[in-house]
Structure 1
C-alpha cells in the first residue's frame, strides 16, 4: 500500500490519472531504497524515469567505493533501470554540489561549527535543482527512497516521521518547503522495517537487494572530516592552544577542525583528576576550550533560517510548545519556541541538553503524533 490512502478516483500516488499516464521521476542513488521505489512504481505501471546525480569527480580523492552516488552506485542504478525496463539518466551536478554543499561544509568547520551536509544536499540540490529538472521532464511528481511520510491534512500535505523510528530521516528533511512537499512522494515511509524493503528488492529480483547501506557522508572517506577539509582548504589544520574556561593553557592541538563540541576523547590531556570536554571552539584565536561535563548543558538555543511547516504563520503565536531534536540520534525534547521573526526564534528547552553545537539543525516535532513542523539552524547568537 502507498503511504497515503487516496480516494478511489486517485492513483496510488494521489494523482487523478491512470498510472500509465502519470510520469514519475525517481531520484536513484544506486542503493536498495531508491531502487525499490523505482521498481515498485514501474511494476504498478507508472511512467518511471530514473535520475542519478553525479555529485563529484569519481576519480578524485574525495570519492570512495560504496559511497552515495559514487561510480559503483551509478552503475547499480542503471542496472536496476535496465532490469525493470525504464529509462535512466545521469546528470552532472558536480559544480552545483561543490558550491552548494562541499564549500559550505568546509567553511563551517573552519568557523568552529559542526555542519550537516546531507540536509544542505536535500535542500539545495535534490529538492531544488533535481526537482526542477523533474518538472522540465513533464513529470507529475518526484519520488525518493527517504524514510519519511507525506500525509494529507486539512490544510494540504504534511510531513510526518517514518513508521520505522530506527530508519526515520525527518531530521535531514526539515527544510522541505510546502511547495516541494506538494510535488514529492516518499513510498517507503509507511514500511515497518528495512527488512521489508529488502524483501521487496528480492521480490523484484533487483541486483542491489543485499547491497549494504552507505554509512558515511558521501564525500568524506572513512568519516575523516579533517582530511577532506585540509584538502579543500590547505593550511586549515593550524595548531593552537587547548585552554580551560578561565583561559589557562592546558595543552596544544593540531587544528580546531579536529574537534567538535562535547568531545572527550583524543584531547591529549592525561593526568587530570576530572574528565574534560570540548565546550567551545574559537577559530579566530585557534583555541579549543575545555571544561567539565556540566558546562555543556544548554537550555536556550538561538535558531535561524527557519522553515516552517505549520498550518498558520510561524509568527501568529508568541509561543509554540513542541518537541525539538538537536541531533539526528537524539529523541525530541520538550521545548518552547518563541518566534523573533518569520525565520528566527529562541528555543527554550524544558530540560537542558548537552553538546548543543552551532551548525547543527534544530528540528520541530508535534508534542503528540508524528508530524514535523519544520526546523532551523543552530547558531551562536
Structure 2
C-alpha cells in the first residue's frame, strides 16, 4: 500500500511512520507548514508546527530512509482554523482548534491531496483505532492506552475518511513504550516533550491574542435576575465558567463567588451567577457527523443510549441522544448534570469503545438558567419539547 505519513516532528508520528515501513508499505513523509512565521521557535513544550518541528521531521525520515517533503498549508490553516477560531469567539462560543485542524487540514486537505497523488492512505501518530463495523463500514474506536487516547479529537472523521486512515499506534499500551521504541530505532525525537496549548498562540495568552483581533466594547454584566452588576471590557473575551476578571465590585448576597454563565455577543452582555448554575442538563448540537454507519435507532428519530465526552481526556458520562431537525441537530441529555460545558465545544458520543460521531455544541443549558430574564426583561425559557420520556 502506498502511504503518506504525516510527520509532525514529534515522537508519535515518527514511530508510526517507522511501523508503516516495517509493515511493508511504500511510505513517503510529509510535514505540513502551517505557520506564517516559519522562523518561530518552540518555547518549552508549547506550540507545534515550528521550524524546529520541520527539522525533526526531516531527520526522522532520513533515519527511516523514506522521502521527505514539506507542504505549505499555511493559507488553508489560517482560513479554516485560525479565522474560524476568531469567528467562533466573536460569536460568543468556545471553539476547539485541534478538532478543526483535524477536520479541515489533516484529514480533508491533506487526505484529498494524498488521494489525488495516488496514495492509498494517510498515516499519523494519533492514538486511535479503525475497525470494520458489522456491515464492513469502518468505525473509529478508542486506543489501547486510555491515558493517551485521541479518538475524541478525531471524532470529526467520516466513514469515507476512515477508509484511508492508518493509525499504527492504536494497540500500543503506553507512550513510554513508544519513546523506548523510538530510542531503539535511533530516532532523535525519542525524548522530545509533547506539544500542548494552541499552536498559533504559543505564549498561551488566548485573551490577549483575541483582543488584537476582535473589536471589544464595554457592556453590562448581569445577574440571573437581569440586574446590572458591573461593566465588562468586551463580552467575547469571556468564557463560560470564568471566575476571575469579572470586576463586579460587590459580593453576591450569599457571599459566594460568581461565575460566567452565559455570553451574549449580540447584546454585548455577560450573565453571571452561582457555581450551581454551571451545571448543564441539556445540550443541543449542530454540524453533526457520524464516524461510521449511523445507528438504526438514530435514523428512526428515537432516543438512543450512549456515552458523552465534551473535552479531550475529559470525563465520560452516560447519556441519551436523539437526532432532530432532519439530521441537522442532535439533542443530548446527560445522565447527570455536567459542569464546564460551553457553546462551541465539541460533544463526541461513544458506545463502548466506538466513536458514534460528534456535534458542535450550540446550546448548553441549565433549566434554572432558562428562567433568567433577557436584556429587555423577557424570559429566555423555551419549552423543553425534546425531553426524553421517563
State the TM-score, normalized to the length of structure 2.
Answer: 0.86
Residues 1:333 and 2:317 are matched in the alignment:
yes
Deviation readout 1:303-341 (Å, 9 max, x if unpaired): 111112345453234111111112224222111112112
Alignment partner, residue 119 of structure 1: 99
Q: Secondary structure at the match of 1:379?
A: strand
Q: What's the offset of the Cα at 1:163? A: 1.2
1:5-154 to 2 correspondence within 5 Å?
22-59=1-38, 64-65=42-43, 67-154=47-134
Tell me: CA distance 1:329–1:271, structure 2 relative to 1, closer, same or farther (3 Å). farther
2:334 to 316, 330, 349: 349
- 1:135 and 1:30 map into 2 onto residues whose CA distance is 23
Question: Is 1:289 aligned to 2:271, yes or no?
Answer: yes
Secondary structure (helix, strand or coil) at the match of 1:351 reads coil
- Is the 8 Å Cα contact of residues 287 and 328 (structure 2) preserved in structure 1? yes
**1:259 maps to which of 215, 224, 238:** 238
Deviation at 1:271, TM superposition (A): 5.5
Unaligned runs of 5+ in 1: 1-21
CA contact (8 A) 1:298 1:353 kept: yes
**Distance change (3 Å), C-alpha of 1:311 and 1:240:** closer
The Cα shift of 1:144 comes to: 0.6
Which segments of 5 or more consecutive residues in structure 2 lack a partner in the other structure?
365-390
The CA distance in 2 between the partners of 1:89 and 1:60, in whole Å, is 18
Which string of whole-angstrom CA distances, capped at 9 and with x for unpartnered residues, describes residues 186-218 of structure 1? 111211111011011101110111100001111
Deviation (angstroms), 1:356: 1.9
**Number of matched residues?**
355
Moved more, 222-231 or 94-103: 222-231
Residues 33 and 145 in structure 1, CA contact (< 8 A), matched pair in contact too:
yes
Native 8 Å contact 1:119 1:173 kept in 2 = yes
Mapped partners of 1:269, 1:310: distance in 2: 49
Give CA deviations for 1:132-167 in whole Å, capped at 9, x if unaligned: 121123222111111111122322221111111111
Contact 1:155–1:311 (Cα < 8 Å) also in 2: no
Cα root mean square deviation, aligned? 1.9
Task: State yes or no: 1:214 paired with 2:214.
Answer: no
- SS of the equivalent of 1:115 reads coil
Q: Secondary structure at the match of 1:155?
A: coil
Corresponding residue number in structure 1 for 2:379: none
- Which residue number corresponds to residue 171 of structure 1? 152
Asked if 1:181 corresponds to 2:162, the answer is yes
Partner of 1:8: none
Of 129, 139, 145, the match for 1:158: 139
Tell me the equivalent position of 1:199.
180
Q: Is the 8 A contact 1:64 1:219 kept in 2?
A: no
Query: Does 1:246 find its partner at 2:225?
Result: yes
1:280 maps to which of 241, 262, 268: 262
Partner residue in 1 for 2:304: 320
| Aligned mates of 1:166, 1:135 — CA distance in 2 | 32
**Paired position in structure 1 for 2:362:** 379
Contact 2:258 2:272 in 1 (8 A): yes
How big is the shift at 1:60?
A: 7.8
How far apart, CA to CA, are the structure 2 residues paired with 1:263 and 1:43? 48
SS of the counterpart of 2:281? strand
| Range that drifts further, 339-348 or 170-179 | 339-348
Corresponding residue SS for 1:36: helix
Shift of 1:247: 2.6
Structure-1-length-normalised TM-score: 0.88
Q: Is the 8 A contact 1:307 1:343 kept in 2?
A: no
Select between 112-121 and 155-164 the one with higher mean Cα deviation: 155-164
